[in-house]
Structures are given as C-alpha cells and as structure tokens.
Chains A and B, each alone.
Chain A
Amino acid sequence: MKNSVRLMVATLTMTSALATTPALARTLNIGAIGELASFDTSQVSGGTWESDILMDVYEGLVKENPSGKLLPGMATSWETSDDGLTWTFHMRDGAKWSDGTPVTADDFVFGWRHLLNPANASKYAYNLYPIKNAEAVSTGKQPLDALGVASRDNGKTLEVTLNQPTPYFLQLMAHYTAFPQPKHLVEKYGKDWTGMEHIATNGAFHPVQWVSQSRITTEKNPAYYDVSQVALDGVNYFTSEDRNAGISRFRSGQFDVLREYPSNRYQWLKENLPDATHMSPMLGNYYYVFNQRKGEPTADPRVREALNLAIRRDVLAKQIMGGTFLPAYAFVPPGVNNYTRQPLAFKGEPMAERMKRARALMKDAGYGPDHPLTLNLRYNSSDEHKKIAIAVAAMWKPLGVKTQLQQAEATVHYQAIAEGDFNVARAAWIADYDDAENFLSLLSTGAGNNYGAYSSPAFDADMKKAANTADPAAREKLLEHAEAIAMQDNAVAPLLFYVTRNLVNPDLEGWEDNVKDNHPSRWVSFKE
C-alpha cells in the first residue's frame, strides 16, 4: 500500500514536472561541465564554469552587460590620476550583502588582502599583481596592510594604487579575483563562512543549496540593489561532465543552457537544433609551442619557420575540426579590445610557394632525406588534440619530418613541458581579461607559461615599455609591434582560435554571444 501511494505520488510529480508551469519556467537551468571549487573566490581553481556561478552571485566594482561590456557595479563612478597610478572608486549607496549588511570599500580591501594572504594559498592571487606591493604581500615579504588599497570616507570610497599604469585594470575588476568578501562573515565564521547556512553574497542571486557533484541552487537576492530588474526567480547550475549526456538533458528540457557542447556534435546540432545551437568567436588561442632551449632542433629559427609554413590552418579548422575553430595566423585572437592582430607574414601566400620555401629552409638547416628531422610532439589527452596532432604531423611529412606523437593526461603534460621535455607541444590560453597583454605576456622571457623559453630582447623591451605607457594608442602600437616581432621569429605556431559553443533555449532573452563567453543570468529572462 505504502509503495503504491509512493508510486502514485511520484507519477504525479513526474507528470507535473513534465508539464511546463510558469513558476518553474522562471528558474534558469544551466548545464555546466564542472563543479565549483569554492564560494570563497580566493580558492577557485580557474574553470570557466566557475566564473559563471561566481559572476551571478557576486558583483565586483564593475559588472558586465549581456555583450560583455563593462557597467558600474558596486562602484557607481571612478577617476584615475593623471599618471594612471591611482584609481578612486565611489561606492554605490544602498548596496547590500544578501543578509542585509551594507557592502563597503572595506569588503574590497578585506577580500583583496584575503586573496593575497600567503596563508590562504590562492592560485590566482597573481591576477591582482598590478596593485602596489601585491606581489610582496603574496610572498610574505610585506604585511597585508602594505597592499596599495585603502577604504576612505567611512567605506564610501576605495582608493587603489598601482605599480604601473594598467589600462586593463577596469577589465580586471570584473574578474572574480577582484570581488569583495563579506568581512563580517569571514571574521565571525572563519573558513565555514561559505557554508549554505552562513553565506551571504552581493550579486543578483544568492546560493541556497549545494549538492556536491549534482547541482547548486540559487535564488534571486532580495537585497540586491537592482532586484526589480532581475527577471529570474533563481538559477540552478547542474554538474554535467559528460557533454553528450548534457545534450540529451538539454533536449529533454532539463537544461535551458548547455555550456561547451562537444565540438564533434556541432554539425548534427546545427542541422537538428538550429535555433538553439550557438557558436561565436572567443578570446582563446590554441597553439603549438616550439622548444627553443639550447640544443633543440626547434631552437633553429629556420626549422620553426619551415614548420609554421607547412601547417594548413584552414584545413585544421574546417576539415579536421568541422568548423568548430577559426584558423589562426596570429597569436592574439580576434575581438580583443583596441587591438589589430599582426599575422604571420605568409598569410594568404599560395601553399605551393610556402612548401617550396619550407623545403629550402629545412635544407638550409641541414635536414634532408639522409638526415631527416625527428620531432616529439606532445599533447594532453583528448580526441580533439589527437586529431589535430595527427593532421599536423601529416602536414610536416612532405618536409621529411618524422613526428612522434606523445600524449599524456593534463597534469603530466603540463609538468613535462614546463620542464622542457619536448620538441613541440600543445598549449592554449583563454583570456582572463580583454586585453592583448594577457596573451602576449605568455611570450615574455622567463614568464611561467612561456613553455618554449622563447626569448627576444626586442619583444621584452616593447612589452616593458607598453606596461609603463598610459596613453592607449601608444600602448596599442607597442603591443602590436611586440606581436609582429614574435610572429617574425616564429616564436610559436599559432593554429586555431577558440569559439564559444553553447546550446541555448530559444525562449530565452538577454542571453548574447560574446567574446568573453560570459552570460550573467541577471539579464536573462524567458519570453512571455
């Protein structure tokens, strides 16, 4: 009897869940490919899925609109000093945490110190390194209060001092590492403040339930200053690591948005769900690193140029990846603010001439049928990377290059290439902020992510000068010049640019494709 009642109740529940009721439709269901590491923004591991949630529940000094443009957030206005070193933010009156406590400049000072405190071991603390003394604080060489940030006028003004004029500083302020932290809660509960029973957030939504590895549920934050403009009652973020399963769940109506559908399903989705399938350029590049350490064959610029010449990027993007990437002839992706890309010189040259020159360069470098070049090409395990590696190896074959493919799981791959144990290796970068510097700094001498140890004094000089230039136009020229040098040196082999891949319920409004692939739920609503 008990069971049959349970069965009946469950059947009723299921039937009502299948029928779309207006109350349910006001909650947005997002399928994400991973799980948030923490609601403490200093403990986040850096996945794109993590910033989705954090941008919905928190708000920094600035926020993003549906197309990714910056709008005032917790600060309503700001000024910079003439030398570009001091920024003064005026805090919003009436901004509150979801428990009703006012958000003040003190919460930003506290949050940034928390992020840079070495005891908190924050992976992305370096994002705030443009702030004065940030690096010294993070290494424990200076106390926390030496950080160049201060709360003035009873928490109504935030004053930030920088090391150098940093034109992208405002972009950085939209990143979760620059979000405030509720000082009153962290001081009261310590590490436990992120528990659902204690947490308060200052964004449009606040978390109410977290079933690890299943879903995070948020509700509209009644204390949010713009609450009357927020259409959704809440947002659910489901963990759906298996992306094909995610497609099934989208098709059955469980998800309104599925993030990062698998690229090999693009053609099918485009034909069968044309209104829901989104794809657009994104700030991310996919490239091969040439190991330029002494004694490596790829330390020879002629070899690098020849290898670069022989890669057919259009074939990779269109035939191999089925149009789910854009061909890349430069290092900085399209769509970056105030920037013109500096492509490889041979872009547009006929393939036959490129191959002719490549063969001559290889011969010059001392390679030929009697002395073929053998390269070890490393990539981190994935079907996508494997297909690309096989294709590139085939493109190099006419040059007499024997390519040995070596795959490894991501942790092993990156450790090996950081140690220089490779000839050619796959790497990629997704922008933290919309600025060419974020990409180009990967090629600076000694930079942590400069896996190939590319080193050019001229490039470094441009980058250094750009970092100290406040005038946007002059700075842009310097960065463009730097990229041109790197491309001329064949510092890397740019292959592809990433695109965003999302399935979006056609009934949603306020959800726009943009190069940052950020889609704050605050702007999203269901069509009536």
Chain B
Amino acid sequence: MLSYILKRLAFAIPTLLIVITISFFLMRVAPGGPFDGERQLPPEIEANLEAVYHLDEPLPMQYLRYMNNLVHGDFGPSFKYKDFSVTELIMQGFPVSLEIGGLAIALALLIGLPLGVIAALKRNSAADYFVMSLALGGIAVPNFVIAPIMALVFGVLLGWLPAGGWNGGAWPNLVLPVVALSIQQIAYIARMMRASMIETLGSHFIRTARAKGLNEMQVVMRHALRPAMLPVVSYLGPAIAGIVTGSVVIEQIFGIPGIGRYFVQGALNRDYTLVMGTVVFYGALIVLMNLLVDLLYSVLDPQIRYDD
C-alpha cells in the first residue's frame, strides 16, 4: 500500500511538470500582456516594468527562472496586487474557498445520496420523477442565475441573511453561498447515485442476498450501498478539487475572498505569476484528490487491492 502511494506521488511530479510547462508557454502565447490596458504606457516606462519583472529576457530564460523559483517554493510577486505575493494571495484565499466548498460538498452528499437512493428504490414512481425533475432543474439552472435570486430574496426582500460579504466567515454569511454552490452538486450526485444504485440492484450478488431472505433495507444498506457509491466517489475526486478551489461566480456575487476569482482575473489581466500559481496549486490538488479516491476505492470495493 505504502509503496503504491509513493509510486503514485512520484508519478505526480512529471505530471505537474508537464502542466506547468504547458501553462507557462500557453500564457505567453496569448495575445496582450500584463501592461496592455486602456492607457498606453510610454515605451520607457514599459521597459522599466519589463526589466523589473524579467519579461525582457528570452522566454526559455524566463521559464528556467520561474522553475527555479518554484523549486524554492516561491510563486513570485503578483503583477497586479502589488502588496501581496502569489503565495500570500493563495494562502489567504484558500481557507475561505475550502470552507465554502467543503460545506457545499458535505451538503450535496447529505442530500444528494439519499435522494438518489430513494429515486432508485422507487423507480418510475412519482417520487422518482419528482427527484429527477428537481435534479434536472438543478443542473440546468446555472448558479449565476440562482445566486443573485437567492441574494435578492433572502438578503434584500426578506432580510433574513446578509446579501453578501464574508465577515470573517460568520455563519449567516456562509448560508447563501454554500447553498448556491451545492445545488448543482446535489443534482449531479442524486442522478449518479440513482443510476448506479439501479445497476447494482440488478447484479447477481444482490439477487443472492435477496435469495438468502434478507429484507430490502438490509439488502440496500449492507450490500448495495457501498458498491453503488463507487461512481460517485470517482466523481468526487476532481469535483472536490474543483469546488474547494473556489467558484468565480459565487465569489463575485457574494463578495467572498476565495481563490476562484484568481483563475479568471489572473488570466484576463495576464497576471502571469498569479495564473501559474493557481494552476500549480489546482494541479497538485487534483493529483492528490485522485490518489485519495483510488485509495478509497479499496475501502469500498474489496475486489480492489493495491498490493506490491
């Protein structure tokens, strides 16, 4: 097991290297630069800026410089937010995204899994159609529609919850963004759980369990639930990595200081170091989450073993 983990981690290094290299060069190939804007800068000032950020060096040289800094744990300074380094920005924003995203995933599992199971057990009944219509709605309506409506209804019209703001993570400020972020996940998880549960319930070992005379509750809880969760678990790996690294839409609508916006803003501003920092961070998180998912597989499915 341990050697399997070590092997996977060793594989992660070249994977990340490739991701970093491709992102680095793609970013530089994109037209426009960090200092292009509504106001054209005098050439001498642009030259000063390029010299300070080493953009006047040949691209391979810049790449080596970046990799060298990265190895030393330095993501470099942000081109836009001058009072913070990229590391500081990520370290300040990540706990916020993690809290919102973690709660949203927990909520999605708490609601999505039972909904999916119920729909599968009551297949083609009114309950099934109801749950699946809700899920379809949850997937179809994007959160940039849901979130402002929630802010308007609960924040402005009813005045029950703050319409936005972070306020140090006080719970009233968490409710709307967490719910808005989880709706789509609830829908995905419920649909996936339903499909997988239906498939599992049709398999031989379930028939055996039923033949042994177990009641339906025992069949589902003891035998069907674990294998039926496998597709959800494999979905959760990348989904968690995606959600805990923030959602630009939710962050901007509710004014939450997470890191989701840095992907978009960094790219639009051509803030090279910020984009690279978030990509490296996201990449590492994905690799890690996928590893965790694979390990979780062996817990859920006894057929899977990571022996040496």
Contacts and interface: CB of A to CB of B under 8 A. Distances in A.
Interface of A: 6-7, 10, 13-14, 18, 35-40, 43, 45-46, 118-123, 125-126, 135, 138-139, 194-195, 210-215, 238-242, 244-245, 248-249, 251-252, 254, 409-412, 414-416, 418, 427-428, 448-449, 451
A5 B267 CA distance: 43
Residue of A14, A36, A120, A125 contacting most chain B CB atoms (<10 Å): A14
Query: Which has the most chain B C-beta neighbours within 10 Å: A36, A211, A449?
Result: A211
Interface in B57-77: none
A410 B38 contact: yes
Interface stretch (B44-52, B202-210, B215-223, B281-289): B44-52
Given A119-B52, A252-B155, A448-B40, A411 B270 contact: yes
Interface stretch (B18-26, B119-127, B162-170): B162-170
B238 interface: no
A390 to B, nearest CB: 21
Contacts of A418: 36, 40
16 contacts: A37-B83, A40-B83, A121-B49, A125-B48, A126-B41, A126-B45, A139-B48, A210-B83, A212-B257, A214-B255, A241-B252, A251-B156, A252-B162, A411-B32, A411-B34, A415-B36
B32 A409 contact: yes
Contact of A245 (B33, B255, B257): B255
Interface residues of B, number: 56
B93 interface: yes
A123 B49 contact: yes
A214 B92 CA distance: 11
Nearest to B38: A414
B82 A37 contact: yes
Nearest to B50: A121
Given A195-B83, A214-B255, A252-B159, 17 more contacts: A10-B172, A119-B52, A125-B45, A212-B81, A212-B257, A213-B257, A214-B165, A244-B148, A252-B155, A252-B156, A254-B162, A410-B268, A411-B269, A412-B36, A415-B32, A415-B33, A427-B38
A77 to B, nearest CB: 33
B106 interface: no
Given A37-B80, A249-B163, A252-B155, A242 B253 contact: yes
B39 interface: yes
B41 A448 contact: yes
Nearest to A43: B82
A472 B41 CA distance: 29
Contacts of A210: 83
B39 A449 contact: yes
B175 to A, nearest CB: 10
Contacts of A241: 252, 261
B36 A211 contact: no
A118 B82 contact: no
Contacts of B235: none
Given A252-B155, A252-B156, A410-B38, A245 B254 contact: yes
Contacts of B48: 118-122, 125, 138-139
Interface in B246-266: 251-258, 261
Interface in B165-218: 165-166, 170-172
Contact of B255 (A212, A239, A428, A449): A239
Nearest to A242: B252
Nearest to A40: B82
B255 A249 contact: yes
Contacts of A6: 171
Contact of A211 (B32, B34, B42, B257): B257
A33 to B, nearest CB: 11
Interface in B123-154: 148, 151-152
Given A7-B171, A251-B156, A428-B38, A240 B82 contact: no
Contacts of A135: 44
Contacts of B275: none
B268 to A, nearest CB: 6
A120 B155 CA distance: 44
Contacts of B41: 123, 126, 448
Contacts of B166: 211, 214-215
Contacts of A240: 164, 255
Contacts of A238: 165, 255
Contact of B42 (A18, A248, A249, A448): A448
Contact of B268 (A195, A244, A411): A411
B252 A245 contact: yes
B36 A411 contact: yes
